[in-house]
Amino acid sequence: MLAAYAVHPEHSRGRRFPEPPHPYRNDFQRDRDRVIHARAFRRLEAKTQVFTRRYSDHFRNRLTHTLEVAQISRTIAGALNLNVDLAEALALVHDIGHPPFGHSGEKALDAAMREHGLFFDHNLHALRIVEDFEQRYAAFRGLNLTFEVREGIIKHSHDYTVNDHPELAEYLLDQRPPLEAQLIDLTDEIAYNTADLDDGYEAHLLSLEEIRAGVPVFERFYREIEQIYPNVPEKLKFNETLKRVLNRFVDDLIRTTQARVSAAGIRTLEDVRSHPTRLAAFSPVVDAERKQNKEFLYKTLYYSPALSEEKDEAERVVRELFIFWMSHPEALPHNYQDRAHEDPLPRVICDYIAGMTDPFILEQHEKHCGSGMQ
């Protein structure tokens, strides 16, 4: 049974283009399914999370990361009596706007846009994807998702203002998003804070000793595992420890959010929206552990020398292709050339690049600029 302050499907603000109800799926289940069947969602399989396939095809890509976020989000939403279908739809769509090459690609694309007085924001790009770029229906452009999913796309991790983004005014920017959307940024962190430790360890870029020394919550659980399983291989001790770290983050997020909702006297969805701050949160103790984990990953993995050359190459590929198409717009596909009659050329090029997979952008760079990543 849903909590009174959850988003109830029958109370949805609806779709931009009204549609008749489905006989056996509610609107948020339909949104989830539309996201899964979208081309942009499928392309996540060939977009970098942290490691390219140069290391191994065992590591997370943007799609498998998204599935892990969805699993964690469903669990937490269910425990809080929130709308699991809405939380799942938001988790599945939350990274759909990311460009190739992970954060390196995003950094390079934003830098290229700023040279023309514009910018790139993956949340806003995700909204453009679901409202315009995906073309699957005869009656309308985009996926025609419910208001709540579109709102969650832009508000799950950032508070935009009407002054800065008047085009987003319909999304109640002066109000908090529902709890289902508030969870997503936190479940995203739970997923990558633990998964990136796992992949970094598997890639031999992070040693067990480094992780134990740099992530106190991991060390605490590892000592317990050594007492319980003294004779199992190191990798299994690592796995058992990481499971307990993930569970600690999940359990704390559930308990702390429940306590904050109760303390604030939240009774309705309107109470959630009008609350001065977001209600979904970790406790101070666990939030400090989360920050230590995240800071360790930035220091030892994300900015490690082993990955720096690949990141520099990724930024170069994006930058050089952007410059090429600015000088040779006639080399763009015809549908993007047509778009350039309506939108600024830098935005059209940005949209094209952002939708590419890692392999496709390398092919395009080889074709137009002569050489790609080694």
Could you report the per-residue pLDDT of 160-172, keeping only the tens digit for each?
Answer: 999 999 999 999 9
Confidence category of residue 52, pLDDT binned at 50, 70, 90 = low
Q: Is the pLDDT of residue 117 over 90?
A: yes
Q: Is the pLDDT of residue 308 over 50?
A: yes
pLDDT computed for residue 374 by the predictor: 45
CATH superfamily of 9-307: Hypothetical protein af1432 (1.10.3210.10)
Q: Is the pLDDT of residue 343 over 90?
A: yes
pLDDT computed for residue 371 by the predictor: 61
57 or 349, greater pLDDT: 349
Q: Look at residues 178, 131, 170 and name the one whose alpha carbon lies nearest to residue 35.
A: 131
Q: Is the pLDDT of residue 331 over 60?
A: yes
Q: Is the pLDDT of residue 307 over 90?
A: no
pLDDT computed for residue 48 by the predictor: 87
Q: What is the pLDDT of residues 120-141, one digit of tens each?
A: 999 999 999 999 999 999 999 9
DSSP string computed for 58-123: SS-BHHHHHHHHHHHHHHHHHHTT--HHHHHHHHHHTTTT--TTHHHHHHHHHHHHHTTT----HH
Question: Could you tell me the residue ranges of all domains in the chain?
Answer: 9-307
Q: Helix or strand or coil: residue 134?
A: coil
Average pLDDT, the chain: 95
| In the block, residue with structure tokens 């203002």 | 161
127 or 372, greater pLDDT: 127
Q: What is the pLDDT of residues 354-370, one digit of tens each?
A: 999 999 999 999 999 98
Confidence category of residue 49, pLDDT binned at 50, 70, 90 = confident
Average pLDDT, stretch 330-337? 95
Q: Helix or strand or coil: residue 139?
A: coil
pLDDT computed for residue 23 by the predictor: 96
Q: Alpha carbon 99 to chain centroid distance?
A: 11
* Distance between CA atoms of residues 154 and 159, nearest Å: 8
